[in-house]
Structure 1
Amino acid sequence: MPEVVVTGLGIVCPIGVGADAVWASVESRTSGVRAVPELVAANLPIPIAADVADFDAKEFVKPRKSLKVMSRETQLGFTASEMAWADAGLDGANVDPDRLGVTSGSNMFCPEMPELAAACHASDSGDGVFDFNRWGNTGLREVFPLWLLKYLPNMAPAHVSIAHDARGPSNSIVAGDVSGLLALIEAADVVARGHADVMLAGGASSSIGWMDLIWHAGARLSHRVDEPERACRPFDADRDGMVGGEGAAMFVLETREHALARGAKPLARIAGYGRRYESATASYRPTGQSIGQAIEAALAAAGVKAGAVGHVSAHGLSTELDDRIEAEAIRRTLGDVAVTAPKSFIGNVGAACGAVEMAINLLGLLRGRVAPTLNYETPDPKCPVNVVAEMAAAKSPLAMLLNHRTTGQAVSLLIEAE
């Protein structure tokens, strides 16, 4: 099948808006985790998170009126797509709109609570009790008529498609933390099958919206609230949970032939991938079997041996179980390969984590570097992996990206920098 390459990338995440800002933060070892003022003011027990603190959507979203029907996640995804589009030099490239598509990994977008406040107050029976009859009769009248259009998980690719008149394949993948890599794999397959000439693909997500925080009630989160920048510590013996985050990354994918024909320089190629599952939906305690199988499938698809992989970008969630089973699977299939965990910088951005982590790794590979893992201070014997704690030279342009989730899904993606 035709070789699929990456010709542009855009990234908006807790350590920067744009590729240069992100890599500068990596070089300076600047964490994106902090005590978020709004969470502190609300007196939440865990007020730390990795938010995109310096992001103003008005600088990037055109036309401005679109902001009225864009959730925070859609704004992040749209911005990353515009950056990727510009990076790939697609303005004036005359891509056939019918052969231009968009695929994005998404979470279920949670509504912003102030938007529902008036409706909830109107549904008050008078004694502080929510009355469902009043909600149906009067409460719903207080909801913005286009409210629902802000929070459908396909809104990020929808707005990008509208902006660029993309009439080709469009899709949203909602599968938790593996969504971003699944979206990239799907887009690469669409291009390889000849169903599109150019695909914008990646993910946009947040795990720190108010309704998300209330719903999960701090489950699996780090309690290291006095040291936010040290809270996310993948594979470290003193890890005590993950940190929530938000962000987006998008990429331009096309065949090498198409890229060269329009004068675009490939940044990397999609070398292979694996998608596997083990039954853990009931227990939420996978064994790591699917992670190992996904790694082996990616190696087989790429036609390479384990030793060819220069480093692994691990899921590195910073929880006891997730890190342990992932470390065991990496050691079992890839041996003593170097391992980095970008979540130590950006927290867990949910459905977008694979795309954002791919962007960080690709920025490093293009410079011949592997990003360090922050806060790796005390090796855990139960996590037998070679963690990169300091910035290191890349041993190979071939890197493996990993994401998995507690319900048993695991995804791997091999990229090779040009």
Structure 2
Amino acid sequence: MKNSYNAAREVFAGWGVDTEAAISALATIPISMHCWQGDDVVGFEKKSGTSGGGIQATGNHPGRARNPDELRADLEFAYSKIPGKHRLNLHAFYLDTDERPDRDAIEYRHYAPWVDWAKEQGLGLDFNPTFFAHAKADDNLTLSHPDAGIRAFWIEHGQRTREIAARIGEALGSPAVNNIWVPDGYKDNPVDRMAARRRLEASLDTMLAEKHDKAHMLDAVESKLFGIGVEACTVGSHEFYMGYAIKRKTLLCLDMGHFHPTENIADKLSSVALSVDELLLHVSRPMRWDSDHVILQDDSILQMAQELVFGGLLARTHIGLDFFDATISRTAAWVIGTRNMQKALLRALLLPQEKLKRVEENLDWTSRLLLTEEARDLPFAAVWEEFCARNGVPTGLGLIADLDTYQASVAGRI
């Protein structure tokens, strides 16, 4: 393997690329892995409502985590197969407590076991309010609901998640991104979109009124195109949240599944980065709109990673994952998806960036096309294997064997 890497290093050097610099840069990029892949977005509270907002995991593959301990065990295994140090994205309904507080009564202590575990594992934590799977969300309206009492319930929930996220960030010494997504919308054509959006804006303003130290917590807002049951209108559209993020100085979350399938998220990054200080990415693969498949090294991921690297956006972008597939091993899904995100970033870091930018600036489209296509044949895999070896994680057949063995050990869960 070392001989393969040394040969690859010489090839890249001929293109003006330093593989050691690329490996070092990749080691500094944390990926926030999402807890909800491990249990099919079920959570650990007694359900009193439907999922809503188009959220649905299909399949019933053996091995779903049924409690926090099983979920943490699965996560530990997954992280052990992923090179580098990363984060966990935790939804509010994954509390770990014998109590059964409603969403407007959750407190930091209900998540303290997650913080203790994250400290032990050397992980950062991010957080999300859970505005779905609750009786008060069954109308697919929460912060924009016409009923002031329902709005107040969800505002309180959001305020508490911000407080919890700030406590988490302080405890771990790393700011927790608290991402706000609501399922609000209408199945059929509404007659007063403005009223709903004014209610959503006012609710968000109230929810975000208290200031928290950005060293501990960062607010993000996330849009959606539409979902099951809200096909005619999503109150929190991309335009709504882009304007809100600019006005209120929050992070803007771009979820790859929350746009039309022909839209290119990579193209949006440089546009919104001119107006928003920091970005949050939710990376998934929308095969048929928001279907949230495990990400591949396809063009959409490779282009997005290249835009982050070439646009100098890595320091301003928080990368999180958001897919949930219950037709395959859940731990394998985490490992495959996270490693593919890293592979895409590594490929971007290994491209002859300055050379490509120079020929484009000189309007030399022929050289740009030639360089881009010939670069596809560079020995990226050898550099990836070296990166994994330095981090003590397997590749190829060794990885496959480890994933199969672990899946067999959890297949008996019912």
Question: Which structure shows the higher strand fraction?
Answer: 1
Is the TM-score greater than 0.5?
no
TM-score norm. by structure 1 comes to 0.27
Question: Which structure shows the higher helix fraction?
Answer: 2
TM-score norm. by structure 2 comes to 0.27
